[in-house]
Amino acid sequence: MADKTNVPRLNMRYGLIYTSSEVGRKIKEIKIPELNQKYFILRAESLQGENLLEFAGSQMPVMAKDAVMYEEEPIVAVIAPDYESAAIARREIAIETGEEEISEEASLYQEDYGWGNIEDFRLGWKETIKREKPAESVIKEEEKEEKAAEADEEKSGEGEEKEDTEKEEVAAEEEKTEEEEEVIIHEYKKVSTTFSLDPIKYTSFTFFSATCWSEGSSLHVMVPTQYPKLVADTVARVTGFDRRKIIIHTSQYSETSDEYLFYPAIIASITASASLSMKCPVEIKTRAINRRGAIKTKRITYLNNDLRPIAEEVVHTLDIGAYQMLEREVERHAMTGIIPSYPLQAFKASIKIEKSFNFPSFIYSSMGYSEALAATEYHSSVLAKEIGMSPYEFRLWALKDKRKFTDYLPATQMGDIKRLLTDIAMKSSFSRKWSSNDLGRSNPSLLGYTKGIGIAAGTGIAGFSTSFVTEHEYQAKLTYTQRGAIVVDTSAYSRGTAVNFWKKILKEELELPSEDSVLFSNNDHSTIDSGPKILSRFICSFSKQLQTNARKLKSLKETEKLPIAITFDVENRFFPCEFDESAYAAMAIEVMLPETSFSPKVKEVWAEYSVGLIADSAILTSSIKQLILRTLIECGMEIDSSLRINISFVRRDAEGIASVVSVTKAIVISSLSSALEQAIGKRVTLPISAEDILHLRRKGDEN
């Protein structure tokens, strides 16, 4: 629920934001129509303070000053006596931009990680054969390397599913002795894939407004926000107003993809600036937006003679839009997802963060983990196909009982994931459907449709990385009062399901008589900064920390007098890896592609989760369903009344609090990609439309 604040409407002015689609160009001139004194025009130059939004060390301008960097970037705010006048005045505004696109620095940010020596696998393995006579044809070492390099280029250039190369034998004369030794270099069988996700540019019709007014010496800001402190800081920076006198009121919102994280802070600071300039209350209305940039993963797996993966190299490229925000953190998330679960002797991954003239898109319900895990899982399915197994059989065969411990994830128990996969494969009749769909695709006109089924599994993560939380302190305070009540001091959005869950944890851990003994205090957001409400931090990381610290408080209570207070980190700063596993999940998705419409339809979804503590399985099921449906729609699927979603849970032998968001998104994208690929018979890029499928089919016919 929203703050019950009475907004003074008397003398209120209303505003809209002018944006331009001429992105990546210098602003030459902004033509403003002649307006009377009732109107007010705000541009970057008229802001009282700095034109800057800062989020965890990353910065971006609030309004476009010299150049338009992304389509939704505020250029001008038009304030008028009413929204109608503002809308008409906005239509009269014109922008003149330079003809040439601003040349961006080519890159970027790149981070590599891996183990073993990938070079050994790129070259192939050597076999020494002893011969009595010296070989007649000698190929020099340089030539051999050239050949190998050429072959490599050819294969990675194609970048498609299959690169079933024949073993090339390159002979080299190593040494000339009496008994000649010949070294034959065998290339490893390679399977390479390119997994692409197109940007999500869908804008919902949901709008929000930021309202600002002055009362005495205070400036009140009312806006829906996932991070009130960011709004307060940005308003203070942009207006130059005393930070301590800015009061933030959070209005009601429902975030589907973190659209209320930083855009409201931008709009609120523009509104505040206009309000202070005009000396009257101002409200600015705009659409709630967030975007995901393009993602591309190129991966090569080297297989040994048994067709087991032994080495892998990956280049994962993410476009995070016009401003590089939190690029290090995005890299850590993506790297965590890009490391495969099957054992490898050598692995090398490069995460490349790219800039573009798109909406800054570093957090879209995920910071890149879900998409990276989807790419990894998709590759497993392609690998399976290449070596003649079903994706389910391959996973059982390739996964060991424990995953390799890396800097990013601990040595996860793979046995749980295998069990989930087996359950899902049984429930969905995966193996049978997998084989029959392949047959059905050969003659789609006979049935009038083609079908596909995909499977995926993975581990979930939540919150920020350990490295990030050591750099940025987000805290909360727990006080045991003399009256036996527990007060939690946090700037976190302390309403909704998460809070009920926290109350339950505290009641159980501290053996309180009722949940009413737990009070949340967040009246002053400036007291304790618990960080933004994103990435399931509050449901997962915060809950875990709350549990640990409640136990500490309990033991302190036995030795010390009340009241006792402890301040703790919202996330675990001392975890040995960047992330802790939060839940395991497996999923199968079946799709149907009718030949009459080319609109892919999801027929059925099977999902199983292995989680520790389940507060309310019905609520959890419902929220997972919502997440699955939302992700399917984001991927361009049509949902009709025949769709069935089957969700089940397996209790894990752990008391950990799980977040299933990141893993659900990942396995939906991955299993859907595999299913569509089977139905269409071509590599797909999500989100996909009927037009894209027609294009893919046509390409196939021409070939």
Partner 1 sequence: MLEGLRSPNIHTPSNLSEYSSIIQHYPTSSLWAGGTYIMSRRDFYPSSTTNDEIIYLGTIEELHRFQRNDRIAEFGAMVNLYEVVSTGRTILPKILIKTIQSFGGNIVTGRITLGGSLCTTDFRSSLPGTLSLFDASCEVRYMKKKRMHSKWFPLMTIYDKGGKLNLPERALVSRIRINLYERSYQKFFQEGSFFQDQENSVSIAISGNPDQDNFNDARIAITYPNLGFIASHDLDNIFSSARFPLDQSESQSIEDAIIEMGMATFPSISPLQKIRTRGIIKEIINDLNINALTAASLDEANTSL
Partner 2 sequence: MKIDCVIDGKALSLSLNSNKPLSLILAEDIQNASISSHCNGQMCGLCVVLMDGKAVLSCLIPAFEIRGKTIITFEGYAKTKNAKDIEKAYDLTHLRPCQSCYNARTLLIESLLSSNLTSREDVIREMESLKCHCLEAGDVIRIVQAASEIRRKRHARRS
Please report, as ranges, the residues that interact with partner 1 according to CB under 8 A.
Answer: 33-36, 39, 83-85, 87-89, 91-92, 445, 448, 594-599, 690-691, 694, 698
Q: Which is nearer to partner 1, 87 or 307 (CB)?
A: 87
Look at strands 246-250 and 218-223 and give their pairing: parallel
Ramachandran quadrant class, 532 (left: phi over 0; alpha: psi -120 to 50; beta: rest): beta
Task: Name the residue among 431, 420, 461 with its Cα closest to residue 608.
Answer: 420
For partner 2, the binding residue among 169, 626, 650, 695 (CB under 8 A) is 626
DSSP code at position 580: -
621 binds, among partner 2, partner 1, none (CB under 5 to 8 A by kind): partner 2
Closer to partner 2 by CB, 252 or 435: give it: 252
| Distance separating alpha carbons of residues 542 and 524, to the nearest angstrom | 19
We find the least distance from the C-beta atom of residue 697 to partner 1, in angstroms, to be 9
| Calpha distance 398→342 (Å, rounded) | 6
Phi, psi of 615 (to 5 degrees): -70, -50
Task: Name the nearest CA neighbour of 321 among 366, 268, 362.
Answer: 362
Residue 699 CA to residue 447 CA, distance in Å, equals 22
Using CB distances below 5 to 8 A depending on partner kind, what does residue 206 bind out of partner 1, partner 2, none?
A: partner 2
Site for partner 2 in 176-215 (CB under 8 A): 204-208
In DSSP notation, 241-257 reads --GGGEEEEEPP---SS
Beta bridge partners of 353: 109, 318
Query: Is residue 640 near partner 2 by the rule CB under 8 A?
Result: yes
Question: What's the min distance (Å) between Cβ of 605 and partner 2?
Answer: 10
Binding track, positions 13-52, relative to partner 2; x by CB under 8 A: -x--------------------------------------
Q: Which CB atom, from 172 or from 643, has the smaller least distance to partner 2?
A: 643
What character string, x for contact with partner 2 (CB under 8 A) and - otherwise, covers 234-273?
A: -----------------xxxx-x-----------------
252 touches, from partner 2, partner 1, none (C-beta below 5 to 8 Å by class): partner 2
Figure out which of the listed residues 641, 655, 702, 703 binds partner 2, where binding follows CB under 8 A. Answer: 641
Choice between 115 and 449, CB closer to partner 1: 449
* Smallest separation (angstroms) from partner 2 to the CB of 645: 6
625, interface contact from partner 1, partner 2, none, CB < 5-8 Å by kind: partner 2
**Over 593-659, what HEC string results?**
EECCCCCCEEEEEEEEEEECECCCHHHHHHHHHHHHHHHHHHCCCECCCCCEEEEEEEECCCCCECC
Question: Among residues 411, 333, 337, which one has the least CA distance to residue 380?
Answer: 337
CB of 209 to partner 1, least distance (A): 17
- The C-alpha angle 90, 95, 99, rounded to 5 degrees, equals 155
Among residues 34 and 175, whose Cβ is nearest to partner 1? Answer: 34
4 binds partner 2 per the rule CB under 8 A:
no
Which does residue 629 bind out of partner 1, partner 2, none, counting CB within 5 to 8 angstroms by kind? partner 2
- Residues 63-92: x where in contact with partner 2 by CB under 8 A, - otherwise, as a string: -------------------xxx--------
Among 29, 132, 618, 655, binds partner 2 (CB under 8 A): 618
Query: Among residues 126 and 698, whose Cβ is nearest to partner 1?
Result: 698
- Of 644, 651, 698, 699, which one interacts with partner 2 (CB under 8 A)? 644
Taking the C-alpha atoms of residue 424 and residue 428, their distance in angstroms, rounded to an integer, is 6
Closest to 579 in 3D by CA, of 672, 663, 496? 663
Contact 518, 510 (CB under 8 A): no
How many other C-beta atoms can be found within 10 angstroms of the C-beta atom of residue 170? 19
- Which residue is it, tokens 């969700």? 647
Binding site for partner 2 (CB under 8 A): 2, 7, 9, 14, 82-84, 204-208, 251-254, 256, 285, 616, 618-619, 621-622, 625-626, 629-630, 633, 639-645
